[in-house]
Amino acid sequence: MIMHECSHVGCTELIPFNVRYCEKHKKQKAHEVIQSHKRNDKFWGFYQSQQWRKTRNAYMDGHPWCEECLRNGRHKLATSVDHIKPLKLCDENEQLSFDNLQSLCPSCHNYKTRQEQKSYINK
């Protein structure tokens, strides 16, 4: 098995090649990412709310397939519920409306997010 050192600065723990952090630093890194999101994302609280989680679960129950893939003749399971109109542009009525939601697979969700980020940068 190919091994390498943990990606945490100064750690020399050897771990499998397909793993980024040793067990000690994996939890620390996950905590840092969560804290970073809490600080930098004003919608963090919305996505952690019980109301959003219930809406998301109900939507996924009725829409288990990636809707973008279905439009293109493919069948992939969705893993996330996306706001068609980005949350930062929604009014309160649109935030939990099924009319503004779509189920997406990881690749479609990442593509849509990148396109939205490019449009914000170019404005």
Per-residue pLDDT, 121:
59
Domain boundaries, given as residue ranges, for the chain: 3-40, 50-121
Q: How many angstroms separate the CA atoms of 27 and 122, rounded?
A: 36
Per-residue pLDDT, 63:
97
Torsion of CA 37, 43, 49, 52, to 10 degrees: -120
Q: What are phi and psi of 117, to 5 degrees?
A: -60, -40
Per-residue pLDDT, 54:
96
Residue 47: pLDDT over 60: yes
Per-residue pLDDT, 107:
92
